[in-house]
Chain A
Amino acid sequence: MRALRAVGRRVGRRLVASAPALLGVVVFTFLLMRVLPGDPAVFFASGPNAGQEEIDELRRVLGLDRPIPVQLAHYLYDVGTGNLGRSLTTGQPVLRDLTERLPASLELTVTALILALGLALPLGILAALRPGSLLDHGVRLVCSLGVCVPTFVSGLLLIYVFYVVLGIAPDPTGRLDIFAASPPDITGFLLVDFLLVGDMEGWRAAAAQLVLPAATMALFTLAPLARMTRASMLAVLGSDFVRTAKSIGLGRGRVVLVYALRNALLPVITITGIVFSTMLGANVLVEKVFSWPGVGSYALDALLGSDYAPVQGFVLLMASAFVIVNLVIDTLYGIADPRVSIE
């Protein structure tokens, strides 16, 4: 009970503490976008021979003629009221664009994380239990190679092998074959929606589309996770308190599971948070390779088209995601480690 209350306090404190960080990100992205070289007014005027008048008119409509602090104040107000502006390319409110595409990105990222954790934890633990064994060397090799392959290369090579050569993967574009019927939009997560309506065939199709991009991302994140699990497990197995546990005659299973593993997972929790953050960034690359209709490719298109609002919205979204992830990680850590509550 005492521990739970401490965790609650901690979460509350971190929420409060992350507010300035969020505000900082908002201001930062605003300023960043302000120094963008391309003038969107020129870009969106009717064409190269648009008159100065038309450009000035557009500037006024977009509010670009006012002093920067005023623009910032307006922007902050808009963000506070949930108005992230309108995308000049899609013509829709950015908030709507983002909410439409977010489930695609999340489905991909979460699947990849589950895949990576599901492989990395057992591999790391087994390698640490038998240092120097064949398995250990194998895990170390995978770890060394995994961090060296950029996601955009591994993704393309996976496409080549499984789609072009073997022909077992579906056409690597998008979340669903263009001829397949989409499920009703309930949660936005295709796998969940298909399950909810009981369309197993659709579910399999969606899953097949998801496998390659998720595997690409999982391959990339497997290495740091397995490496940290192995290192931390090794360190804990050599620690004084594991020796104590052996000295009182506890069985090997209990020593490994209760004494070693629980302690070894603490740093893994932290690294999982960082890995998740990295995946949010890597999303952009993977989504481009697989033409995945997520927020990453949306932001990239906007970025290349000098479209302010979606990029600002995207960075803001990433910042919020990062705050939430950190909060979750913090909470988990607070539950797992009684020592953190003292500070």
Chain B
Amino acid sequence: MSATLRHAGWVLRGNPITAVAATGVLLLAVLAIFAPWIQPYDPIASNVRNALQPPSAANWAGTDQLGRDILSRLIAATRLDLAIAISAVSISFAAGAVIGSLCGYAGGRMDRVVGRLVDVLMAFPLFVLAMAMVAALGNRVENIIIATAFINLPFYIRFARAEVNVRRDAGWVEAARACGDSHLSVVLRFLLPNILPAMAVQISLNLGWAILNAAGLSFLGLGVTAPTPEWGIMVAEGARFITSGQWWLVAFPGFTLMLAVLCFNLLGDGLRDILDPRMRT
């Protein structure tokens, strides 16, 4: 274990951007876990007399139309936004990896049908699909998670399928069968562990995408509802005040959103570079 950590440390020193991104992700995690102790004010306590104040020493990110401290709301929202993204991605990763690798290994008609379906789904305006799903299932956080997981699913299926496909005829897969492993055991004990590093990259990239999707949905008024602090809603509420010049209502949640996504994306890119230098872009 310590050898793995040492190796990770060595790798991060060689990739400063990845190191910064990893630190950012770590910071987000800390914020999410310790939010109630870190936030300076109560994120939902309104104070109308102190409404729409620009950033100041007391309220570093200013206050919103109800006089709530934006910084506290941002910190409180970290937990919800990360939770949505992580649960959605976990669901689609688990389902997608298994479905994808089974299809990729089995091949044949079933695989072609699933492959075609996934291609069709991926080319479809997925955000529209997510919108329709949340609207149909009900305006609740669970449904944002389900919708986000659903629109992430085709990517994982496709990815796992492709990764397994290039390996299914590898000598070591046939060798495992010659050594007495069943098909199922080959997929679960040989192929899945081998595609996990590549999938990790995908997870990191998809977390960013999932955050964007969830925030987009709540921006439209789907899913999370006010007064719950959430980055997308905060932007939506601030949007009404942008033309009158109160930029901080939009800018701070916007930048937080952007930074969070950036960290996950850069971490994903960095992981990919480390795992497979040929895919460097």
Contacts and interface: CB of A to CB of B under 8 A. Distances in A.
B242 A281 contact: no
Nearest to B116: A17
A148 B208 contact: yes
B219 A285 contact: yes
A196 interface: no
A156 B242 contact: yes
B127 A284 contact: yes
Interface string B246-259: 01001101100111
Interface stretch (B96-104, B133-141, B159-167, B188-196): B133-141
Interface string B214-246: 011001111000000000100110110011010
A253 interface: no
A43 interface: no
A172 interface: yes
Sorting the interface of chain B by its residue count into under 10, 10 to 19, 20 to 34 or 35 or more gives: 35 or more
A264 B222 CA distance: 40
B201 to A, nearest CB: 15
A221 interface: no
B60 interface: no
Contacts of A289: 239
A185 B236 CA distance: 33
Contacts of B216: 150-152, 285
Given A37-B138, A304-B221, A150 B128 contact: no
A33 interface: yes
B135 A144 contact: no
Given A163-B243, A231-B281, A326-B123, A303 B257 contact: no
Contacts of A234: 281
A326 B136 CA distance: 27
A104 to B, nearest CB: 17
Contact of B123 (A25, A152, A163, A322): A322
Contacts of A304: 135, 221-222
Contacts of B259: 148
Given A147-B261, A156-B242, A281 B250 contact: no
Contact of A148 (B124, B250, B265): B265
Interface in A131-181: 140, 144-145, 147-153, 156-157, 159-160, 163-164, 172
Contact of B261 (A140, A148, A303): A148
B281 A303 contact: no
Contact of B245 (A148, A164, A321): A164
Contacts of A156: 235, 238-239, 242, 250, 254
Sorting the interface of chain A by its residue count into under 10, 10 to 19, 20 to 34 or 35 or more gives: 35 or more
A153 B247 contact: no
B180 interface: no
A122 B118 CA distance: 31
A98 B232 CA distance: 28
Contacts of B262: 144-145, 148
Given A29-B132, A144-B266, A157-B251, A300 B220 contact: yes
B124 A322 contact: yes
Nearest to B259: A148
B250 A311 contact: no
Contacts of A322: 123-125
A277 B221 CA distance: 22
A32 interface: yes
B131 interface: yes
Interface string A37-48: 100000000000
Interface string A313-343: 0110011011001100000000000000000
A159 B241 CA distance: 11
A157 B242 CA distance: 8
A36 B133 CA distance: 9
Contact of A315 (B132, B247, B253): B132
B239 A150 contact: no
13 contacts: A37-B138, A145-B258, A147-B261, A151-B216, A156-B250, A157-B251, A172-B243, A282-B127, A300-B220, A303-B131, A303-B132, A315-B129, A319-B124
Interface of B: 120, 122-129, 131-133, 135-138, 208, 212, 215-216, 219-222, 232, 235-236, 238-239, 242-243, 245, 247, 250-251, 253-254, 257-259, 261-262, 265-266, 269, 281
Given A273-B123, A319-B124, 14 more contacts: A25-B124, A145-B262, A147-B208, A150-B212, A152-B219, A152-B236, A153-B258, A156-B235, A160-B242, A160-B251, A281-B128, A282-B127, A303-B135, A322-B123
